């Protein structure tokens, strides 16, 4: 698998906007943006501007030119007049039309232009992201299952953008919210840890019931990767545990399912730290410590209703016996239920299980 940290580094670099450009003339747009009422000529000016700017991105031969054109589009995407719905609707319509067309053309480039095609596609998705227009969700949805992990990451980033999730929580677009959630659910099993982190963030922010189902699926994926010692980017689980912890405090009928994932995932994080002492890299141990300490400080303290420092103290003193005792007291063991009183399911005889699964020893 390609280095995920490298993928994120590449994408983070691509997200940097360059400030100046001369290729796209925005003077006409400045006038339109300042109008309180638009006419047909103004609508045409908006469409012409978006068409030309997106066309510049498509025709560009280097990243600098692509990025400059993208920055100019974003800078001119909002009217300077408050509540100018005419401008917003026309810009959105034009953006969807021309970005979709440009993406199709970029995909159709010859193999010799593969690198340029990649830069154009990712930049067009970044443009979609920066516009934070829920009506452009359809553009990003077409790429969430891309075989190229960087493109997939960009597409999911568009949908997990806080500006988009906030809008998706409006009852007016609930069908779109459900469509996005369903599509993200479909790619959980095949996504990289970094993309899973975006999906988890989306699931934690979306306010429809499908959001809870989505975060449970993400947690199950992470739990499975801990179980077979294939997990990467352990730091990600701090966010997943935080989201699960927050939902435990407010969930109704699903509280038991959420609690079970919280308990098992947190248990595996702690057990990995103990059992992997001799096989994990220092950076992996540091990530696990960060997850354990932060989860104890925030989620565990909130769920239990009291400040907790036992895990942190045990880690600092290097006392693995004390750390295991904290685990058992909080999450349960074969002899008793833990303080969180989590139901981990039932055994073959139908008896409730009061403790999380034990993590197997690391592979030889």
pLDDT(16) > 50: no
For residue 167, tell me if it sits in a domain. yes
Percent of the chain predicted with pLDDT > 90: 83
Based on the domain organization, do 143 and 76 belong to the same domain?
no
Three-state DSSP class for residue 276: coil
Span 132-170, pLDDT tens digits: 999 999 999 999 999 999 999 999 999 999 999 999 999
- CA dist 220 and 184 (Å) reads 15
Residue 38 shares a structural domain with residue 114? yes
Closest Cα partner for 267 from 361, 359, 362? 359
Q: What is the pLDDT of residues 297-309, one digit of tens each?
A: 999 999 988 899 9
pLDDT greater than 80 at residue 233: yes
125 domain residue, yes or no: yes
Question: Quick check: is 237 in a domain?
Answer: yes
DSSP 145-184: T-SSHHHHHHHHHHHH-HHHHHHHTSGGGHHHHHHHHHHH
Same domain, 96 and 155: no
In a domain, 166, yes or no: yes
Mean pLDDT value of segment 237-243: 97
> Do residues 99 and 196 both lie within one domain?
no
Global pTM?
Answer: 0.91
For the chain, what is the radius of gyration of the CA atoms?
Answer: 24
Residue 20 is predicted with a pLDDT of 36
Report the distance separating Cα 155 and Cα 149, nearest Å: 10
**Is the same domain home to 17 and 125?**
yes
d(CA 343, CA 259): 8
Domain assignment of residue 212, yes or no: no
Residue 261's closest CA among 295, 221, 303?
221
Domain identity same for 126 and 21 = yes
- Judge whether residue 15 has pLDDT over 70: no
Question: Do 221 and 343 lie in a common domain?
Answer: yes
Residue 154 has which token pair? 């960009």
User: Which of 179, 181, 115, 180 shows the shortest CA–CA distance to 148?
Assistant: 115
Distance CA 264, CA 342 (A): 10
Q: Are residues 196 and 116 in the same domain?
A: no
Same structural domain, 177 and 249: no
Checking if the pLDDT of 219 tops 70, the result is yes
CB atoms within 10 A of CB 279: 13
Q: Is 234 domain-assigned?
A: yes
Same domain for 172 and 264, yes or no, is: no
Which of 106, 153, 154 is closest to 129 using CA atoms?
154
State residue 304's pLDDT score.
87
Among 166, 189, 207, identify where a domain stops: 207
Q: Which of 207, 233, 249 delimits the end of a domain?
A: 207
Name the burial class of residue 283, with classes exposed (0-12), middle (13-18) and buried (19+) by CB atoms within 10 angstroms of its CB.
exposed
Give the mean pLDDT of the chain.
92
End position of a domain, from candidates 151, 182, 207: 207
Residue in 221, 182, 189, 224 with CA at minimum distance from that of residue 203? 182
Residues 163 and 181 in one domain: yes
224: in domain: yes
Residue 359: which region, alpha, beta or left (left: phi > 0; alpha: psi -120 to 50)? beta
Which residue is associated with the tokens 């034990």?
358
Domain count, the chain: 3
Residues 3 and 113 both lie in one domain: yes
Q: Is the pLDDT of residue 90 over 50?
A: yes
Give the number of residues written for the chain: 364
Question: pLDDT for 25-55, tens place per residue?
Answer: 688 899 999 999 999 999 999 999 999 999 9
Q: Are 212 and 247 in contact (CB under 8 A)?
A: yes
Q: Which two tokens stand for residue 127?
A: 């443009």
Contact at 8 Å (CB) between 230 and 284? no
Cα 292 to chain centroid, rounded? 21
The answer to the question of residue 165 being in a domain is: yes
Residue position matching structure tokens 């306010």: 207
Residue 44 DSSP symbol: H
134: its two tokens: 């829920």
Range of the domain at 356: 217-364
Torsion over CA: 314, 317, 320, 321 (sign): negative
* Nearest-5° Cα angle at 262, 245 to 244: 35
């Amino acid at each position: 698998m390609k280095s995920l940290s490298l993928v994120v580094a590449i994408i983070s670099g691509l997200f940097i906007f360059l400030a100046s450009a001369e290729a796209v003339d925005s003077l006409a747009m400045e006038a339109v943006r300042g109008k309180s009422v638009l006419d047909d000529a103004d609508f045409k000016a908006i469409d012409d501007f978006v068409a030309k700017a997106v066309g510049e991105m498509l025709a560009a031969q280097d990243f600098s030119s692509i990025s400059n054109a993208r920055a100019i589009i974003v800078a001119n995407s909002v009217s300077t007049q408050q509540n100018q719905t005419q401008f917003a609707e026309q810009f959105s319509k034009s953006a969807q039309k021309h970005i979709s067309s440009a993406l199709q053309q970029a995909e159709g480039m010859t193999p010799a232009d593969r690198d340029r095609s990649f830069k154009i596609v990712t930049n067009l998705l970044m443009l979609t992201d920066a516009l934070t227009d829920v009506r452009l969700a359809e553009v990003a949805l077409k790429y969430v299952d891309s075989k190229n992990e960087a493109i997939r990451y960009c597409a999911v980033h568009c949908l997990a953008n806080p500006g988009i999730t906030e809008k998706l929580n409006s009852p007016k677009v609930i069908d779109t919210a459900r469509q996005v959630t369903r599509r993200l659910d479909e790619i959980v099993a095949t996504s990289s840890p970094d993309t899973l982190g975006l999906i988890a963030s989306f699931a934690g922010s979306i306010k429809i019931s499908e959001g809870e189902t989505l975060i449970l699926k993400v947690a199950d994926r992470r739990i499975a990767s801990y179980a077979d010692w294939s997990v990467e980017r352990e730091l990600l689980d701090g966010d997943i545990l935080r989201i699960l912890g927050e939902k435990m405090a407010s969930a109704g009928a699903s509280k038991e399912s959420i609690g079970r994932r919280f308990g098992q995932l947190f248990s595996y994080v702690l057990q990995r730290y103990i059992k992997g002492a001799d096989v994990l890299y220092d950076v992996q141990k540091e990530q696990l410590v960060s997850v354990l300490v932060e989860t104890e400080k925030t989620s565990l303290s909130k769920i239990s209703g009291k400040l907790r420092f036992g895990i942190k103290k045990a880690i600092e003193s290097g006392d693995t016996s004390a750390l295991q005792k904290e685990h058992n007291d909080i999450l349960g063991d074969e002899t008793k239920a833990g303080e969180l009183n989590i139901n981990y399911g039932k055994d073959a005889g139908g008896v409730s299980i009061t403790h999380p699964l034990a993590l197997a020893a690391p592979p030889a």
